[in-house]
């Protein structure tokens, strides 16, 4: 590789070109992580996931549903943000955008 060190090739060429390919994996990891929060409520965490778990078991179905919808909105928002970032990066690279 004439004109660039291995480190420069990695950080200035390879990783920027790989970002659109890596983003769907990161996107799925984040969304699945949010889905796993409800399972984390089983071990006694505090937060929105605890409300999703405790609400229906305490008879407050509406509270559990509202908390579940809140988690879904968070997951959808993060999904849209990472998808837009990946799409914008593909356009910057001049690659096809579907």
Domain borders along the chain are 21-93
Q: How confident is the model at residue 92 (pLDDT cuts 50, 70, 90)?
A: confident
Residue 1 has pLDDT above 60, yes or no: no
Identify the pLDDT of residue 7.
93
Phi, psi of 72 (to 5 degrees): -65, -40
Rounded distance between C-alpha atoms, residue 75 and residue 13, angstroms = 31
Mean pLDDT taken over the chain: 83
- Distances 12 to 1, 3, 70 between C-alpha atoms, Å: 13, 13, 38
Identify the pLDDT of residue 97.
62
């Amino acid at each position: 590789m004439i004109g660039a060190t291995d480190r420069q090739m990695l950080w200035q060429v390879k990783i920027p070109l790989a970002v659109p390919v890596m983003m769907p994996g990161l996107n799925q990891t984040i969304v699945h992580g949010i889905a796993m929060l409800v399972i984390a409520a089983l071990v006694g965490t505090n937060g929105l996931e605890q409300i999703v778990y405790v609400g229906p078991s305490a008879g407050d179905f509406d509270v559990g549903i509202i908390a579940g919808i809140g988690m879904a909105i968070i997951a959808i928002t993060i999904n849209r943000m990472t998808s837009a970032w990946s799409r914008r990066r593909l356009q910057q690279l001049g690659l096809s955008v579907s």
